[in-house]
Structure 1
Amino acid sequence: MLTNVGTHIFIDETKAKGYVVVAVLCPDTSLSLARRAIGGLVLPGQRSIHMKQEGPRRRQAIADVVTGLVPSGVHAVVLDAGRGPSPERVRRKRALEAIVELAAHGSPASLVIDLDQPLLALPDVVAWCWARGGEWRRRVSPVVSHTLEV
């Protein structure tokens, strides 16, 4: 999943339908391209992109930009911790342990968790679409390289 090239890992979660954590992996060589792509989506007056605050047509456009980054090596890993019966903190712990294991098998340049930085829009988009299922899940599936139940 990771390569020998430094990889930046951006992580976000959704609790909309169960507990899902998405790690988007961006090779160091594609970081500038991804930042430009996401930065170009931020509207005047917006600080960042959050799918839950966007309208349907804009959500489609945003998801298309994210999946358009696949040729540059950007991909996502979906960690589905389900709805229970374990408490959310236990499911979060399992997901984070899986991310640490993922990072340990490569050469991560950085690991960014839930901070207000532009590329956190990447896992936000994937997590939101994945949790909605149906057409939304199909729309982002090109960027999802792996799914793991944790």
Structure 2
Amino acid sequence: MSVHVFVDESRRNDTYLLAAAIVIPSDLRRLRTLLRGLLLPGQRELHFKKETPQRRRAVLSQLSQAGARVAVYRRSCSEGPEAARQACLARLTADVLELNASRLALDSREDRDVLDVRTIRAGLGKFPRAALLAYEHLNAVSEPLIWIADAVAWSYGAGGDWARRVEGIVVRIVRLDESP
């Protein structure tokens, strides 16, 4: 079965986090409807950094009940945040091919999207089935499923009770600084 993957980032001190929400096609519509329904009047997107603790708890509860699944990739920023992002993205690219993903959607960073494209293309070039993967950068306002990755990346990075609240959502943690 193919999946769609929606990606956002977070940074906590010297740790870079890339979160990838994994959604099966039959859940796309249901989850988008759920997420849009969580918006407050006048709100265009959920951005966890800007939400109140009460709203964060409510959103995470809804995501957990809805069966959201997210993989988290983490790496030290000791070589800079961009190097950490590209290392996480290179690993994610290989992993989404193993998941038989048909779509990879990343939250746009505008002029820096070209760096992601370079990393993704380099990763896809190693795999024959890569031609089946469509990838794009989107504004998070236009794709609510990116909000899942944002919520989990923020919560996981915050640690403590927030990280505990996403334990049932996080299906995999890939620590790129550690030896296998």
Same fold, TM-score > 0.5, yes or no: yes
State the aligned residue count. Answer: 142
Does the 8 Å contact 1:9/1:25 carry over to 2? Answer: yes
CA contact (8 A) 1:76 1:144 kept: yes
Partner of 1:53: 50
Matched, 1:113 2:106: yes
Following TM superposition, by how much is the alpha carbon of 1:104 offset from its aligned partner in structure 2, in angstroms?
A: 1.2
The Cα RMSD (Å) is 1.1
Contact 1:52 1:128 in 2 (8 A): yes
Q: Give 2:117's aligned residue.
A: none
TM-score by length of structure 2 reads 0.75
1:93 maps onto 2:69 in alignment = no
Equivalent residue number for residue 135 of structure 2: none
Q: Any idea what SS the aligned residue of 1:68 has? A: helix
Q: Given the alignment of the two structures, is residue 123 of structure 1 paired with residue 149 of structure 2, yes or no? A: yes
Which structure has the bigger radius of gyration?
A: 2
Structure 1 residues 132-147: aligned runs within 5 Å: 132-147=158-173
Give the Å deviation of 1:107: 2.1
Rounded Cα–Cα distance in structure 1 between residues aligned with 2:57 and 2:77? 27
Where structure 2 has 5 or more consecutive residues not aligned to the other structure, the ranges are 108-137
TM-score normalized with structure 1 length: 0.90
Letter in 2 for 1:43: L
The reply to whether residue 82 of structure 1 matches residue 79 of structure 2 is no
Q: Deviations for 1:37-85, whole angstroms, at most 9, x for unmatched residues?
A: 1111011101110011111111100111111122xxx31101011242x
Structure 1 runs, 4 residues or longer, greater than 6 Å off: none
